[in-house]
Structure 1
């Protein structure tokens, strides 16, 4: 799905490793096809994010960055955030937002600042 030039990818159900890799591949291709400068990955429907899923989300963000797109992960549920922290998992330097609106706002703010050397870690809190 797209909103303006931003790609929005929602994960509605837990994906196995093969499905996650397919999701990763498809999303990276969509970035080029739509020339999207921003990507939002909505994980609000997930009640579990395992270590492979967390690593895949980080990889997607890095590949998107290499293709010229900024990535924000939105909708991490409180229980999921708690478990991820307890297990030492996180999103690294990939910014997160509470919901889709906040994620779109983050990308819009960053888009206005393009051309500056502001690293993603300076966008705000990450998990």
Structure 2
């Protein structure tokens, strides 16, 4: 039986932390679940944390791009965070540029990227006064 990837809400951002390598069915379920969660929550950002992912194939790479496109159509920006060098190398070797998918090295950087775009310092948990002084 396939387990669903949890989708957590942090203010106006949905966080998907992938903790295991996904098979094709897992990716399709994630795509459906995430689209529904974006619509239900009205979130304006999606962060997909792939820190624990060690292996990707062309299907998973294409699905990351598809998820980002789908989120964009539903008025939410997507950032993929925590990509390992080996995963990046594999994606390049497979010829997958992941066009339209923005990346950040860490979850914090990904949240800050969304914060800058949406102009909301509350996304990353930084108080507005602290963000202004940074």
Give TM-score, length-normalised by structure 2.
0.80
Residue aligned with 1:44, SS: coil
d(CA) in 2 for partners of 1:60 and 1:47?
19
Map 1:102-113 onto structure 2 (within 5 A).
Answer: 102-112=109-119
1:44 aligns with 2:48: no
Alignment length (residue pairs): 113
Q: How far has the Cα of 1:112 moved from its partner?
A: 2.1
1:74 aligns with 2:81: yes
Structure 1 runs (4+) deviating above 3 angstroms are none
Q: Determine the structure 2 residue equivalent to 1:120.
A: none
d(CA) in 1 for partners of 2:79 and 2:101?
6
1:7 aligns with 2:14: yes
RMSD: 1.3
d(CA) in 1 for partners of 2:43 and 2:97?
25
Choose 1 or 2 for highest CA Rg.
Answer: 2
Gaps of 5+ in 1: 114-127
d(CA) in 2 for partners of 1:25 and 1:32?
11
**8 A contact 2:69–2:100 mirrored in 1:** no
